[in-house]
Structure 1
Amino acid sequence: MKRFQTYHISEDHKGLSLEHYLKTILAYSGRTIQKLTRLNGIKLNNKNVFLQRRLQQGDVLAVRIPDDRSYGVLPEKGPVDILYEDQGVIVLNKPPHLLVHPAGHTSTGTLANFLAGYFQQKGDVITIRPLHRLDRDTSGCIVFAKDSRTQTFLEKGLSDGRFKRTYWSVVEGKIEPASGIIDMPIGPHPTLPNRRAVDINGERALTRYTTLKASEKWTLLELNLETGRTHQIRVHFAHFGHAVVGDKMYGKRSPLIDRQALHAKSVTFVHPASGQLIEVQAPLPPDLAKVIDD
């Protein structure tokens, strides 16, 4: 099935030729534009159009998205909690205790398999493209791109700070000061291959935190990641003796919750088609809400 990405021409871009807009604003190469033209893959206001046509404010440009040939994983029927979806992006609410993508000896039963099953049920062949990862036991927002151009755009947003992720976490003890920045590099653990550790020779890792609620035994934090290192939040707070509650890898088991108390609360990104700022939030899962309310 042919899929098109639509773009609404703003006042800033009126008067540009269609070819100039495709090359400079959407960053299409001349070769790609020629191929799209041959395939009738460029339409303006639902009609084929010459490349030298001058754009007007309010015009609707539709550009064909190259067809994917596979899902990249085995499609399976399973729960998919959709928080946001459009032509280029889908944001899911990942439950805890579920892998995002097949890894190691696990090839089925992951969120990626279930998302592929959802696309298959709709009659679409869309390769599964997660923009970031969540640990098996972390819940909340995770973003997938539906095509390679959207993936490239959003990945650039991750690297330049336009794609923002906010987490909520319950950590052990009372945090002082109540808000601040942890700027400590993270690298491989010196003896345990599956873990990470604060390491002066590691990659820069920066976590901003704010206290939302506190008791004598734990603190609820809102966290913003300036970098995306593996296990970043878990490593940073464990390093200071405030491990994420229930984190069996970097801390200890907890009677309060049977996983690490970490939730991807929201994602915010600039949409590649509309240029609008999109914010998506995931509700707290019952197990974490219970910890906070008790």
Structure 2
Amino acid sequence: MAVHPDQQSQETTLNHVVASYYESTGVQTAVRHIHRLDKDTTGPVLYAKNEYAQLKLDEAMREKKIVRIYAAIVQGRVDPGLKVIDLPIGKDRNHGSRRRVSLTGQAAVTHVMSSEVYRAHSLLHLRLETGRTHQIRVHLSHMGHPLAGDSLYGGSAVTFKRQALHGERLWFQHPLTGEEVEVFAPWPEDMSKLQEWIRTSSSR
């Protein structure tokens, strides 16, 4: 599910679902997402329920004070020494939906926090320092390790039907109280099954 609508699609989005929830609970406020996930990427999305909260959370995002951790299953054996991918990202002039590593693009930094390497795949835990469109997908594809299922960036959809990417942790300070808030999102069933299949296949 996409986070917000676009001009090409009439599909229900997460913003529609949130708006419906507000209406059903009597909350009269605009829908304000602080960050986004790519369509078919799973995980938590942060929303602000008033303008002040949006202002503070947008500021925290700009100052890199909101921590977003992702799990990704990629093709190939990732070098355990890979810790940071610091490569600018821009639009792909040959494909309207794609992004690519570009010297004239916007700064983009992805941190590799940990990795598990199997026979033909790797499981990575990643932290976004910046939040460019398709950032993780572009960076890993450029490094020769597209996400399993990510056909837009060279991944095979034979064993998985979407990009194998899940936002598993979100950390931020509450904009009103300053309280530390940490959200953990369990893996979706399809990614858990893919990981189990990879582990089983690698042990044979």
TM-score, structure 2 normalization: 0.92
Unmatched tracts of structure 1, length 5 or more: 1-97
**RMSD between aligned alpha carbons?**
1.3
Name 2:202's counterpart in structure 1: none
Q: Tell me which of 109, 114, 126 is aligned to 2:17.
A: 114
1:184 aligns with 2:115: no
**DSSP 3-state at the match of 2:153:** coil
1:99 Cα offset (Å): 1.3
**DSSP 3-state at the match of 2:83:** strand
Q: Residues of 2 paired with 1:122 and 1:190: CA distance?
A: 44
Name 1:278's counterpart in structure 2: 181
Contact kept, 8 Å, 2:56 with 2:175, in 1: the verdict is yes
Q: Residues of 2 paired with 1:252 and 1:163: CA distance?
A: 29
Q: Tell me which of 57, 60, 64 is aligned to 1:157.
A: 60
1:178 Cα offset (Å): 4.4
Contact kept, 8 Å, 1:211 with 1:219, in 2: the verdict is no
1:193 Cα offset (Å): 2.1
Q: Residues of 2 paired with 1:268 and 1:283: CA distance?
A: 15
Contact kept, 8 Å, 1:168 with 1:265, in 2: the verdict is yes
Name 1:148's counterpart in structure 2: 51
Q: Residues of 1 paired with 2:11 and 2:120: CA distance?
A: 39
Contact kept, 8 Å, 1:99 with 1:136, in 2: the verdict is yes
Q: Residues of 1 paired with 2:115 and 2:109: CA distance?
A: 19
Contact kept, 8 Å, 2:75 with 2:155, in 1: the verdict is no
**DSSP 3-state at the match of 2:5:** coil
**DSSP 3-state at the match of 1:154:** helix
1:112 Cα offset (Å): 1.1
Which structure exhibits the higher relative contact order, with contacts defined as CA atoms closer than 8 Å and separated by 6 or more residues? 2
Aligned length: 197
Any idea what the Cα deviations from partners look like across 1:98-150, whole Å, max 9, x if unmatched? 11111114345111111111111111222111101111110011111001110
TM-score, structure 1 normalization: 0.65
1:100 aligns with 2:3: yes
1:293 aligns with 2:196: yes
